[in-house]
């Protein structure tokens, strides 16, 4: 598991590719806002996505939206911006894993 605060503490915002945003909406009915919301709710689970990190480091984030929707977001960091690559509802296995994450109050 990657330390989320260390990974995202210096970030300034989000950078979206229009094609990815549309693809995420068409395939998974996840909006840009929903994908961004998971970065601001706790608990979250973040892990490196080694399988898909051949050209740049990619990460898997499991989190929830304002509406309590559980999402899996694949992202990379470009300078001080988060670049969302994909976002979709969590799989059954991911939901089970996410439910076991302890909630920590900052």
- The pLDDT of 41-70, averaged and rounded, is 84
Q: What is the predicted pLDDT for the residue at 88?
A: 97
Q: What is the predicted pLDDT for the residue at 53?
A: 57
Q: What is the predicted pLDDT for the residue at 17?
A: 87
Tens digits of per-residue pLDDT, 7-54? Answer: 666 778 999 988 889 999 999 999 999 999 999 888 888 888 766 556
**C-alpha–C-alpha distance, residues 46 and 61, integer Å:** 4
Tens digits of per-residue pLDDT, 81-92? Answer: 999 999 999 999
- Quick one: which of 93, 23, 100, 28 has its CA closest to 65? 28
Q: Which residue segments constitute the domains of the chain, with CATH numbers given?
A: 4-99 (3.10.450.530)
Q: What is the predicted pLDDT for the residue at 6?
A: 61
Could you identify the residue written with the tokens 């898997």? 60
């Amino acid at each position: 598991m990657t330390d989320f605060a260390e990974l995202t503490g210096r970030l300034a915002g989000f950078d979206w590719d229009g094609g990815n945003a549309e693809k995420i909406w068409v395939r998974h009915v996840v909006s840009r806002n929903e994908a961004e919301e998971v970065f601001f709710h706790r608990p979250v689970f973040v892990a490196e996505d080694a399988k898909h990190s051949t050209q740049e480091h990619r990460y898997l984030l499991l989190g929830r939206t304002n509406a309590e929707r559980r999402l899996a977001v694949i992202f990379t960091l470009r300078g001080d911006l988060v670049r969302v690559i994909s976002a979709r509802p969590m799989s059954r296995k991911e939901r089970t894993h996410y439910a076991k994450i302890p909630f920590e109050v900052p």
